[in-house]
Amino acid sequence: MNSIDARPNLASRLAARLALAIGCLAAVGGTSAWAQAYPSRPVTIIVPFGAGGPTDTIARIIAERLGPALGGTVIVENVGGAAGSIGVGRAVRAAADGYTLSIGHWGTHAVNSLIYPLKYDVLNDFTPISLLATNPYFILSKKTLPANDLKGLIAWLKANPSKASVASNGIGSPGYLIGTRFEDVTGTRFQFVPYRGGIGDSMKDLISGQIDLMFDQAATSLPQIRAKTIKAYAVTAKSRLALAPGIPTVDEAGLPGFYMAAWHGLWAPKGTPAEVVAKLHSAVVTTLADASVRERLMKIGQDIAARDEQTPEALAARQKAEIDEWRPIIGAAGVIAH
């Protein structure tokens, strides 16, 4: 009797397992089909700064070619404030479906984690897609500042302590951190002026003479340097920039070893399907290999990442290394925002 009664139960269990297996296969097939159809609507890259700055410029160059590489449309949205943490925060809260991406740099996706009480984890709440490009900074001033070289600038700052104004995107932003390091190395002091709208707005004020100094990337400062609307004292690199051979390095200008470079990367929210991340990464690689994109990026002083540096793993490693490098510097300086 017991063996006869067990047969229907066994059959039922087998049928249930078969149905579950079929369901799992269907789900996998559905995910694969969804990934293949991606993107079916516009993809948004959130720039955590205002329009006109270096991150915005790079994002728009990338987006223009990334759309066709993906087989869709890519648009740029500017969400500035709090050294980029507002825009990055919006990106991390977006649906992990590949339709919202985050572009940023060593400040927004690394150093900010050491300064701000962020509501997200820069390493664990994002999925890296690719490193994009790097470029050095320029030490700049308004055209009417008396100093004509870096040594003269440092002398003028020492003679006018805490009188010069320096643009930044807030505590912890690249401009602020570079400025703080410059103060410590040179024994000078100045006043930081925060700009919510980003470098685009502060550059306008530097040109008009409303602020005195700025530490800015080549992407936005080169056009103004060429137009001679601002002064450039040095490039924060070991060698002169090919696009600005007349500007000395910090070593040549009298501030040896003051090297600073910005790198930009692209991320998706954590949990984005692996197939979508792979498709995005492939599209970025295609974009960075495009002759027109390379020319446009190089014209604004960008050094495009080598192919082996464009992997998600390489970007994750770059983030961690940057955090490890700046942790003791920021700790010693006490640069913490509350």
- For residue 248, cis peptide bond before it (omega within 30 degrees of 0): no
What H or E segment, with its residue span, contains residue 137?
A: strand 126-142
Mean pLDDT, rounded, for 53-67: 95
What are the domain boundaries of the chain? 39-134+262-333, 136-253
Quick: pLDDT tens for 258-272.
999 889 999 999 999
pTM, 2 dp: 0.77
Backbone φ and ψ for 211, nearest 5 degrees, come out as: -125, 165
Q: Which DSSP state fits 83?
A: G
| pLDDT at position 3 | 38
Res. 337 pLDDT band, cuts 50 70 90 = low
Tokens of 119: 């509501």
Domain 39-134+262-333: CATH class, spelled out: alpha beta
Helix (H, G, I), strand (E, B) or coil at 160: coil
Quick: pLDDT tens for 79-110.
998 889 999 999 999 999 999 999 999 999 99
159 Rama class: left (phi>0) / alpha (psi -120 to 50) / beta: alpha
Residues 6+ apart with CB under 8 A from 221: 138, 140, 203, 214, 230, 232
- Asked if the domains 39-134+262-333 and 136-253 are classified in one and the same CATH topology, the answer is yes
Is 39 in contact with 71 (CB distance < 8 Å)? yes
Res. 325 pLDDT band, cuts 50 70 90 = confident
Q: Which has the closest alpha carbon to 187: 214, 154, 165, 163?
A: 154
Residues 6+ apart with CB under 8 A from 4: none
Is 83 in contact with 112 (CB distance < 8 Å)? yes
Res. 198 pLDDT band, cuts 50 70 90 = low
User: Over 60: is that where the pLDDT of 63 sits?
Assistant: yes
321: number of Cβ within 10 Å: 12
136-253 belongs to which homologous superfamily?
Periplasmic binding protein-like II (3.40.190.10)
Helix (H, G, I), strand (E, B) or coil at 185: helix
